[in-house]
Structure 1
Amino acid sequence: MLSLTIQQKWINRKLVNRDTMFLAICLSRSTLAWNNSDECQYIKQSKVPTMHFQPSLPRLPIPKLEDTANRYLNAQRPILNNDQLNTTISYVNKFLSDEGLMLNKALLEENKKNKHTSYITEPWFDMYLKDRKPLPINYNPFLVFTQESSDNNQLVKITNLIVSSLRFMKSLRAGILEPEVYHLNPKKSDTELFRTITNLVPSSLSWYAAYLFKAFPLDMSQYHNLFNSTRLPELGKDRIYQNTSEKHIVVSRRGHFYAFNVLDEAGYIHPPKEIAACLKSILDDNRPINIHSVGVLTASERDFWCRARYHLIDIGNRDVLKKIDSALFMVNLDDDVMQDNKSKLIRNFLHSDAINRWFDKSFSIICTKDGYAGINFEHSWGDGVAVLRYFQDVKKDITEKPWFHPHDIENLKANNSDIHRIEFVLDTKAKGIIAEESKKYKQRTQNLAVDYLIIEGFGKNECKSFNVSPDAIMQLAFQLAFYMQEGHMVPTYESCSTAAFKHGRTETIRPVTLETKAVCSALTDKNSKLSTAEIKNMIVACSKAHSNLTKNAAMGQGFDRHLFALKNLCQRLNKPLPDIFKDKSYEYINHNILSTSTLSSSAVMAGGFGPVVDDGYGIGYMIQDKLLGSIVTSYQDKRSASDYIKNLDEAFKTINKVMLHK
């Protein structure tokens, strides 16, 4: 899912001179007329076609059953007592000698018949789409762009974000967006030579050519669902809907919805000043807040929203809903001012009051009155890799190539003629449903606690000087903070992308190891006789163990997805569930009290998500060269995010003190 940065000074040091560059580019761009040229219409013009590597991507491997069993037991050891562990071991041994063999054989056979995809794709989609919980907090994450220091006028910011998003979309659809590639050694592979050679190699062999450069192309199958896409509520299981023929966006403000075309009939992007004129008209609309905003219903339990939607269709809103569903993307213009209130900012982008949102859209661009901008995205269609690529490319484009400037506002006239007001037909029943759901949503969000932590002077550089993994240190700190708070280890989830494989999604890293447990025990035991040097060596060992887990997960060699697929197959075959899946310990390890995820980027100012279980913590984190940060969420009737943050602060200081020991 996400990483985060919280303050502007976290921006990559390479961007120090950005303001000067930004001003110079603005002046040059202001003299360049918008037209249908490639320079205006496309964000990227890659030598290598976007999907060039897709046909030759390796398939996501299915681990050996014995390896999965061993990894599963290793993850259980630090969180179970001896009696629980012995019971689980007996279930695992039975699974390995009986039902597991049959299920794994069936899974392998099914996988052979579906070489176009991965074994996890369909069950993982179903996992998301069948869940009936509301999307905000439970599933939809958010990301906030780093602020421009030169100008953050709302109209200027959102116009440029829309134009750059369209330029990204057109590049993607034209196949000229540069393929997503992980360069193990960028100096050797992120070069023109690499692009020239791999472009000459047929797509069916292109991955192997990249591999010779120690570069690893990533799956891009999710990218097409970024645009014209939405998640439709249906009874029992939702559906992803897409209509790529539409050329409009939908803009919401004060709970009112508007639509206007941003592409012409030939598919060219409308001039930025025309887009800005439409936005100005919306910003000038002085209608009061719509207390019966249908957007609130997208924050509801999914079956409830489905039934409410059926009612809306029955009373004459089919075309209105279709207009929203088929939009290229959603834009939310907020009247709120964030200033320096980070908690308010986090809440606004994570959940808000839902009046000015439509959480079903693949993503929504949100922009506040004072120019804080970011996205809230629906998670079923894809993962953080696709979203972050879009996010970073758009950020770079609005920084280096803004097409609309503050001085352009002077002679701008509002354009009402090209805007379609989306007016819902609402009867007494519909208004009552919206009012009731608004109350429920307010109660739910008021129960959510949000806090954050910034640790300066201790970051990636220092961790590397200690010869430890920065991510391992973060994960150790999360464990130590909880251990300080409650005195034991709990199931923990860390997201790891498997995008190196065709249709890969994610695998789970299980950061709770015997090594982390030993460190937590040593650092909290006042009677411990271990020296600081010994504990430091234990932290290094902890880092090595975590790095091995991360490597395995990235290569599709975790255990969570394999067991998930086997259980799913068993249910589809209507077979009795093996004891391993009925074991309380299996249920326990999947009840992730600590759910953690990172997407480190200098383009991201803040990002996070809600707890995945009622009594857990949602932890979005970032790792910068000289800074570490976390956003933590919890339900305050179960856990205290603020208490956890205090312990996390102490955990970082404790670990740093140990690592500084000579």
Structure 2
Amino acid sequence: MASLLSVQCVASLRKSRTYLRTAALGIKRHYSSKKESSTEYLSQSVVPLMHYQNSLPRLPIPKLEDTVRRYLAAQRPLLDDDQFRTTEKIAQDFQNGVGKQLQEELVAQDQNNKHTSYISEPWLNKFLSNRFTLIQNNPFLLFNPDPKTAYNDQLVRATNLVGSVVRFMKTLRAGFQEPEVFHLNPSESERTRSIRWVPSSLSRPLDISQFLYFFNTTRIPKRGRDELFTDEKARHLLVMRKGNMYVFDVVDRDGNLLKPAEIQSHLKHILSDPTPAAAFPLGILTSENRDVWAGLRDKLIAVGNAEDLWSVESALFCLSLDDESMRDYIHISHNMLHADGCNRWFDKSFTVILTKDGQAAINFEHSWGNGLAILLFLNEIFQDTTERPLVNPGSAAAAVDSASAVRRLKFNLDSELENGIRRAKENFDSTVSTLTIDTVAFKKGGKTQLKKSKMSPDAVVQLAFQMGFLRQYGQTVATYEACSTAAFRHGRTETLRSATIHTKRCSHAFVLQPGQHSAEQLQAMLSECSKYHVQLTKEAAMGQGFDRHLFALRYLANSKSEPLHSLYTEPAYAAINHNILSTSTLASPGMILGGFTPVVPDGFGAGYSVHDDWIQCNVTSYLTRNVHEFVECVHKSLEDIFTVLEGKTLG
């Protein structure tokens, strides 16, 4: 899932008011450069949103020898000596032969496409060609509750969220959104009143091209490869309740936001609509295998549903109003990831979900962008809805004819489509019935204590995952941590390979060799893990990992229908890309929880955040793994790490 920046990036996060990371990204927002915003916009920046876009540096293609070296370093903790010697020989043969030729062609191709990055098209194709259900790809991010409890009423919060999202859209399209800038030294940058005067030595602008797919966008199922569809002319919102779909305009013909009291009236009308739950909820089809869904979508159009389908796919975004109240974080996670599948349109670029008790989350389709863009968006929306709500608990809905303004979509369905919906629901239920979720809330320390110990908080959590898996299964396995390359034009992500020779040595000392090392020796191992992790983070954020480079070279070979080198066909390459531990750090002032499913059937999906004095992890797995035992092992590992950092010996 989700995704980050430079040599000083870890230090620069410490004073950032807005702390947004997916592996290591700090975004600092300087609101001093914004004029007082009107009711139509979130802000009016003195610097246009696209100001830096054309001057962004291009994502570098690593040197082939560096990629091979990094690849072998990541393979070392996963292989025994004989396996490693075989992989090393194959990698060197690739570097000196086919790889060298592919590298030259990739560099030449990149030089002929300076408007983008070498990874942009291959990475987009990777997502759009994936035929699996989107419930295995779409992550969620949970908003914090509104600090004013009464504002968490479903109707009130839905109205305010819709208003803020539309204001964000208008701000974005008018160019009034402040450019996203990573501040290498926040304390120095803060002395500068306007973003335009912050010297380049103190800041790095970030790529914002993914925002172009934010609104009016849907992933359209096609056989073999999906397409992204956007229609910016559409002015309506898609609302789902009980599997029924409704649309109404939230922007008038002059481009102005509909009056909040009218939005409230329309949403109230939908919430009070006595129409029963849809007998054949069309949304469940978006959870199907993509080729199956593509065929059923063609059938939908053939039997006369083209106009209503356009209303769904061109809508600004989707708002799902759920009738269920939430019990705990595990219940919330299941609901925001998948629920019963009937009240979602997983193909939309993003869906805002509101439960009956006012829990709010964003579920987003992943092909168009990464977690960084959504985190930035979520934080802006949370701040706006809580600081400048458009309606309050005492606000009266407008006396307008909502019954005429709101249109419930009615689809023509034949027996083939009805059977397709039944099968989709059966497949959906079969998939989600095997998904298990558990959470870790470690309350004995957090970011503050770790920094005093000169430890990277991210490195410590990643080490706890390694120790936890070793404690549970006795292995070190392929581990994926997402890291954004948004410092470059059309950058996407790089993989941070957090299972290293250092984490393996340290994990074995803690888990398999109890009592054999002093606290000082264990502290030294922890320090080595942290230092190496920070190095990997810096390299990945600056486009100097190995995963995307090797992927692009393979993509190039496939595009020419050339046979793949044995580097790509040997078991070690398959194993390191079978990421049993898929992880991403998700933190923002506007959110309290995030999550995603495992990327492989026998894996874990771990979203986490490190707070000042506690650490939270939200972990998913299928029944092939015991998620409850894993989170217990992670918690025990964190206890052991903090015990050693305090200078105590392990009992």
Aligned residue in 1 for 2:636: 650
- Return the match for 2:562 from 553, 575, 587: 575
Aligned-pair CA distance for 1:286: 1.3
User: Aligned partners of 2:176, 2:501: CA distance in 1, in Å?
Assistant: 47
Tell me which residue corresponds to 1:513: 500
**Residue 413 of structure 1, CA deviation:** 6.3
- 1:34 matched residue in structure 2: none
Matches within 5 A, 1:30-429: 39-136=38-135, 138-150=136-148, 151=150, 152-190=152-190, 192-197=192-197, 210-212=199-201, 214-338=202-326, 340-409=327-396, 415-429=402-416
Q: Structure 2 counterpart of 1:58, which letter? A: P
What's the CA shift for 1:140?
A: 0.3
What secondary structure, in the 3-state scheme, does the structure 2 residue paired with 1:78 have?
helix
| 1:552 to 2:530 alignment | no
**In structure 2, how many angstroms separate the alpha carbons of the residues matched to 1:113 and 1:41?**
41
Q: CA deviation at 1:347?
A: 0.4
- Which letter maps to 2:218? T
Q: How far, CA to CA, are the matches of 1:190 and 1:412 in structure 2? A: 47
Post-superposition offset of 1:574: 1.4
Deviation string, structure 1 residues 625-652 (Cα, Å, up to 9, x no partner)? 111110110001x101111111111111
In 2, the alpha carbon distance for the partners of 1:109 and 1:361 equals: 36
TM-superposed deviation, 1:529 = 2.4
- Residue 532 of structure 1 and its aligned partner are, at CA, apart by 1.6
The corresponding residue for 1:659 is 645
1:475-524: CA deviation from partner (whole Å, max 9, x where unpaired): 00000000000111000000000000000000000001111001111011
The letter for the 1-side match of 2:625 is R
Judge conservation of contact 1:343–1:451 (CA < 8 Å) in 2.
Answer: yes
In the alignment, the residues of structure 2 paired with residue 282 and residue 387 of structure 1 have an alpha-carbon distance, to the nearest angstrom, of 27
- Residue type of the partner of 2:598? P
Residue of structure 2 in register with 1:469 after alignment: 456
Supply the distance in 1 between the matched residues of 2:453 and 2:386 (Cα, whole angstroms).
35
**Contact 2:16/2:186, CA 8 A, preserved across alignment:** no
Structure 1 147/235 Cα, relative in aligned 2: closer, same or farther at 3 Å?
Answer: same
- Number of equivalenced pairs: 618
Judge conservation of contact 1:483–1:520 (CA < 8 Å) in 2.
yes
Give the Å deviation of 1:2.
4.8
CA distance in 2, matches of 1:97, 1:343: 50
Which 4+ stretches in 1 moved above 3 angstroms? 12-15, 190-194, 409-414
Quote how far apart the aligned CAs of 1:599 are. 2.4
Cα deviation, 1:142-188, whole Å, max 9, x if unaligned, reads 01100123221101000000000011111110001000011122232
| Contact 1:280–1:414 (8 Å) recurs in 2 | no
Matched AA of 1:541? E
Q: Which of the residues 618, 622, 641 maps onto 2:605?
A: 618
User: Hey, what's the Cα distance between the residues in 1 that align with 2:165 and 2:192?
Assistant: 26
Counterpart pick for 1:443 among 417, 422, 430? 430
CA contact (8 A) 1:291 1:355 kept: no
2:134 is paired with a residue whose SS is coil
CA distance in 1, matches of 2:53, 2:155: 38
Matches within 5 A, 1:576-591: 576-591=563-578
RMSD: 1.7
1:420 Cα shift?
1.2
* Offset, 1:114: 0.3
- Supply the distance in 1 between the matched residues of 2:430 and 2:60 (Cα, whole angstroms): 44
Q: Distance in 1 between matches of 2:162 and 2:168?
A: 10
Distance 1:179 1:147 in 2: 27
Superposed CA offset, 1:358-391 (max 9, x none)? 0000000100011001110000000111111110
For 1:147 and 1:650, the matched residues in 2 are separated by 30
Select 2:526's aligned residue among 516, 536, 539. 539
* Aligned match of 1:26: none
Task: Specify the code of the residue in structure 2 equivalent to 1:265.
Answer: R
Matched, 1:640 2:626: yes
Alpha-carbon distance in 2 for matches of 1:490, 1:269: 51
In 2: Cα distance, 1:561 partner to 1:256 partner: 41
Write the letter of the residue equivalent to 1:310.
Answer: D
CA contact (8 A) 2:43 2:171 kept: yes
Which residue of structure 2 aligns with residue 8 of structure 1?
Answer: none
Deviation at 1:531, TM superposition (A): 1.1
Following TM superposition, by how much is the alpha carbon of 1:224 offset from its aligned partner in structure 2, in angstroms?
1.5
Aligned partner letter, 2:131:
R
1:411–1:94 Cα change, 3 Å: closer
SS at match of 1:276: helix
Distance 1:561 1:588 in 2: 16
Work out whether residues 139 and 610 of structure 1, in 8 Å CA contact, stay in contact via their aligned partners in 2. yes
Please list every run of 5 or more consecutive structure 2 residues that lacks an aligned counterpart in the other structure: 4-14, 19-35
Query: Quick one: percent identity of the two aligned structures?
Result: 44
SS state at 2:38 partner: helix
C-alpha separation between the residues in 2 aligned to 1:369 and 1:87? 57
Aligned residue number for residue 605 of structure 1: 592
Rounded Cα–Cα distance in structure 2 between residues aligned with 1:376 and 1:439: 22
Going from structure 1 to structure 2, the CA distance change for 1:414 and 1:490 (only over 3 Å counts) comes to farther
Tell me which amino acid in the other structure corresponds to 1:553: A
Report the Cα offset of residue 79 of structure 1.
Answer: 0.5
What amino acid is the match of 1:237? R
SS in 2 for 1:40: coil
1:596 is the counterpart of 2:574: no
Amino acid in structure 2 at the alignment position of 1:86: R
Rounded to whole Å, the distance in 2 between the matches of 1:462 and 1:159 is 40
C-alpha distance in 1 between matches for 2:365 and 2:174: 24
CA drift of 1:38 comes to 5.7
Structure 1: tracts of 5 or more residues without a match:
4-11, 16-36, 199-209
> Residue 460 of structure 2: SS of its match in structure 1?
helix
